[in-house]
Structure 1
């Protein structure tokens, strides 16, 4: 197999591409010409609704225009205190665990980081606390696991999801419960007179509710609200949480980088109850650590597109209906692009930014490529820097002898058996 090959799966023709110039060509086509595959819309509908991650063409443009302004950097500045508020319970919980264990013990970090990241999304985007949205997050996590198990039946999935199995009944039940909870949340944030409830920080929810009544989407107002809230709830917290988990694992395995990041974090955090944008910008080493983690463990492993019309990629004529697949890990571990140490954790490669680390720079794609670059990347990077700086300022981490390294694909790349780390209070 080379950098370009064609294979079939479940009756679908899939063109795999990792050749640099052809990957760049993919970026040139609009979401009306090369969009999200129709089969993914169906298989991911339970988890993502008809939100931004699955729609194409004019509908995609309308949804992105509705939501993207809520993630511009000037809006993120106003979310920093909310991220601090969501991080505080995590710091307190770990300090209490370590105090009662004599200062050092094993902590399985996964659920703590997921809950913290879920709390950020709940507070920053929907004007509620994690406690209020806990049911939604819990159900989406169950949906994520159920759908990823269904994905194991490649080729059967279209038929499989219609069979009256226990799994399918559970999925349908969860979908309906999540739908009702999201609509209840949307209703609670707009009072009976239709005036927005300005007392809470819910700009994104407000934008989604307002967008639901515009003419730029193809479905009902309720479907628009549910689909886009689902997308933000799931994609907004799961990908960030799993990146934080891998970051802590890599820092535990590489104590020299952990110490460098800690010295920087202590200097930046010293005496500050809230970190501002300028302080976060000074976290250069931590930024490199996060970028290298995203290179080695990109949360979403595949970029899948479907030719919605006949297109050309490089010298290849790609007929309508062909699925085009880009595997991020192949791009991110290519020794011709990254050097002979491509498989090693070496954050210093990002000392001069992405352009200095990787030539050509478009082969680094943790947040996607071109038109469909993730709208939430500013929030994700801000959250990761702040949370990791606070954790490293208070705790030291080392590998746990009980850890089993087994990355698995459950729609994101996550530790198959959890992430136990030995934490020590500083």
Structure 2
């Protein structure tokens, strides 16, 4: 009995020692090595503490600056990420900070940003911690995987977003706008032709319907449950404290928030598998052309040899990715676009004249008509510059790499703040904070120097595969809206962008809408 107790005690001590070594390696040894190598090369940054890194300082900066917040301009970095601005001013365009166990190299120097785009996803990929923290929302889909698995997933899905396929979706996008027109015309007719409308959910419903029809062969009425739950998941996941280095263990505790996330994850999983099953039976096979082509590609890819999980996980993860990314980022861009047009009536008038010329007498738009929407294209590009849906681009050095003149050790998180690139006065001019679509009159290459400082859809190999669909959808929806309605600011609108995985209006988007 005594011998057994001694053996158990020895085992406990060994396990405790291993746990302590694991924690010390994560929190001290590995980050210390990375920090030391970068410091030797002249990279500076705030001094971290052992457990929290610089997270306490980040929270302190945000707390101290909160009373001075004034979000009345397009430059929201000072209110959402003030620590990044302070550290850039203090330490330069390249600096190092810590979130407790993670060393983050923040880069805004143009040549180094360009170099980031040259590395493959096997060398500079999505961070493993993001894969874990966003697992509930995105699973192991194309947004989170790296290496051969990413190559396989992109090869599986990218052909469904080629421009020849997108052209066949234009009528489908138009069909998705019909419910909004009917609802708004009814509201405005009963209100004498003009009324304040909070446009957020209407626009989100259009975008959700488009991605449902275009990629999964079902209307929003069928996919509404999935979108509703994913929206709740987005809110729940974004509320988790992403700054705390030791947050991962707390996510496994039976708290109310964690239980809610787990329940939503399971509900979404069952709904997606039900949708996939419906599209593999004989009735589902009747859908042809572009409708549900992506779902068929995902289902077929789930049974191939190039992914590292089960077929069900492959289907659920990539459907969740397309559902969330395919409609959330497009919807929030359309919302910001309407706000900017409402506050800049001269550009709204110019875009409307063009939209009426293209839409006049046409029951349906086509690719040629969309190419003629030059002004509207510039408006959309400028909106994406000022309000890129994904403001932070995060990568992890999966091997030792070189960016500019800097040797970046394996395990370093490389961060680029898109808004910093898009508001850089040296690249864009002194009016970088202002809404001026004419800067894109001769294309992106002439809008800024260097051109890679404009990256709303990413840079390098990981450029978003859905950008053709997003731009086409935005043009169709906005052209039809402008040809039927006029928009002006609502006195109730409160300009306060918030970070909820995407940059969105913190208090909704009420606009005065007038029927033409």
TM-score range relative to shorter protein: over 0.9
Do structure 1's residue 185 and structure 2's residue 246 form an aligned pair?
no
Q: Quote the residue 1:14 is aligned against.
A: 104
Q: Secondary structure of the residue that 1:155 maps to in structure 2?
A: coil
- 1:356-379 deviation digits (Å, cap 9, x = unpaired): 101111110000011000000000
Assess if the C-alpha contact under 8 Å between 1:191 and 1:197 holds in 2: no
Assess if the C-alpha contact under 8 Å between 1:68 and 1:375 holds in 2: yes
- 1:266-289 deviation digits (Å, cap 9, x = unpaired): 000001111000000000000000
Distance 2:241 2:435 in 1: 30
Distance 2:231 2:429 in 1: 37
Give the gaps of 5 or more residues in structure 1.
Answer: none
Higher relative contact order (CA 8 A, sep 6+): 1
Q: Quote the residue 1:45 is aligned against.
A: 135
Assess if the C-alpha contact under 8 Å between 2:99 and 2:243 holds in 1: no
Q: Quote the residue 2:229 is aligned against.
A: 139
Distance 1:363 1:324 in 2: 16
Assess if the C-alpha contact under 8 Å between 1:71 and 1:376 holds in 2: yes
Q: Quote the residue 1:107 is aligned against.
A: 197
TM-score (norm 1): 0.98
Distance 1:280 1:327 in 2: 31
The alpha carbon displacement at 1:160 in A equals: 2.4
Q: Quote the residue 1:24 is aligned against.
A: 114
Distance 1:105 1:208 in 2: 43
Q: Quote the residue 1:331 is aligned against.
A: 421
Assess if the C-alpha contact under 8 Å between 1:190 and 1:197 holds in 2: no
Assess if the C-alpha contact under 8 Å between 1:43 and 1:157 holds in 2: no
Q: Quote the residue 1:198 is aligned against.
A: 287
Give the gaps of 5 or more residues in structure 2.
Answer: 1-87
Do structure 1's residue 425 and structure 2's residue 509 form an aligned pair?
no
The alpha carbon displacement at 1:290 in A equals: 0.2
Q: Quote the residue 1:225 is aligned against.
A: 315
Structure 1 consecutive aligned stretches of length 4 or more whose deviation exceeds 4 Å: none
Q: Quote the residue 1:58 is aligned against.
A: 148
Among residues 158, 162, 168, which one is paired with 1:68 in the alignment?
158
Q: Secondary structure of the residue that 1:207 maps to in structure 2?
A: helix
Report the count of equivalent residues.
425
The alpha carbon displacement at 1:191 in A equals: 1.2
TM-score (norm 2): 0.81
Q: Secondary structure of the residue that 1:10 maps to in structure 2?
A: coil
Q: Secondary structure of the residue that 2:105 maps to in structure 1?
A: strand
The alpha carbon displacement at 1:300 in A equals: 0.2
- 1:291-339 deviation digits (Å, cap 9, x = unpaired): 0000000000010000000111111111100000000000000000000
- 1:157-203 deviation digits (Å, cap 9, x = unpaired): 3122112110100000000010000000000001179x844358110
The alpha carbon displacement at 1:153 in A equals: 5.2
Do structure 1's residue 90 and structure 2's residue 189 form an aligned pair?
no
Q: Quote the residue 1:383 is aligned against.
A: 473
